[in-house]
Amino acid sequence: MTLTDTDYRKLEEKANLIRQDIIKMLLEAGSGHSAGPLGMADIFAALYFNILKHDPAKPDWEDRDRLILSNGHICPVRYAAMAHAGYFPISELKTLRKLGSRLQGHPHRGALPGIETTSGPLGSGLSQAIGLALAGRIDGAKWRVICLMSDGEQDEGNTWEAVMLASKYKLHNMTALMDRNNIQIDGFTEDVMPLDSLKNKYEAFGWYVLEIDGHNMEEIIDAFSQAKAIFEKPTLIIAHTIPGKGVDFMENKFEWHGKPPNKEEAELALKQLQKSGE
């Protein structure tokens, strides 16, 4: 089904609303990560409102696509997207990181229906996505696995163990997407631990690699449908994103990796986002 310009604009509006909720949640929580969630809002809007085969009313529907979020610390964006998709009331977003909340600081499978696995410790998500894809293949299942991961967690040895295995078993029922935002806690990725060229590395390991602008709705959706058509190879989408996207004083600042906005910063951020959403 071809999407019209109006369809893309609607997805962009969703992404903008998700960004606003991320700011509100983080202000309320008083801790958490800002840059990564804002940077991934367009991709999450595309996933929950177009790409994923899912049913918010039946989170454990057997035929759903499985979305694994490896870098669990960006969960505010997943929670906001899930709330907007109808998994739970938007008002529940305010409970993020609080005692008794289903919205744990890092997502937990046992806490919230629709969260496929517990994550946060980096480098473990791709392997779990592979495990799901292997299980699905044994059963002849139609659902697909999508694994989102960060560029920082490419530092982890476990990630590369997984990269080799996906290639060995030619897992084409799984698509991985890497948030290439160039920052991690201690600084820019290329200073902390040089990663480039990630495209060459993954291709050398036997993957099919696409590179996209992670804020361009059309490119995001095209990339996932292209990945479905690749046979006998796992696909990696390297999505170039701007950490803190949409809030000018957060954009591309690694200092915003792991902190929330204060009241004044949140007001300014919301003003900017509301303006760009008009």
Which residues form the interface with another protein (CB under 8 A)? 66, 68, 108-110, 116-121, 123-124, 127-136, 138-139, 157-158, 161-162, 164-165, 169
**CB-nearer residue toward another protein: 72 or 243:** 72
**CB-nearer residue toward another protein: 138 or 229:** 138
* Residue 147: CB minimum distance to another protein, A: 10
**CB-nearer residue toward another protein: 135 or 196:** 135
**CB-nearer residue toward another protein: 56 or 131:** 131
* Residue 22: CB minimum distance to another protein, A: 24
**CB-nearer residue toward another protein: 132 or 178:** 132
* Residue 161: CB minimum distance to another protein, A: 4
Task: Return the HEC string of the chain.
Answer: CCCCHHHHHHHHHHHHHHHHHHHHHHHHHCCCCCHHHHHCHHHHHHHHHHHCCCCCCCCCCCCCCEEEECCHHHHHHHHHHHHHHCCCCHHHHHHCCCCCCCCCCCCCCCCCCCCCCCCCCCCCHHHHHHHHHHHHHHHCCCCCEEEEEECHHHHCHHHHHHHHHHHHCCCCCEEEEEEECCEECCEEHHHHCCCCCHHHHHHHCCCEEEEEECCCHHHHHHHHHHHHHCCCCCEEEEEECCCCCCCCCCCCCHHHCCCCCCHHHHHHHHHHHHHHHC
* Residue 278: CB minimum distance to another protein, A: 42
* Residue 156: CB minimum distance to another protein, A: 9
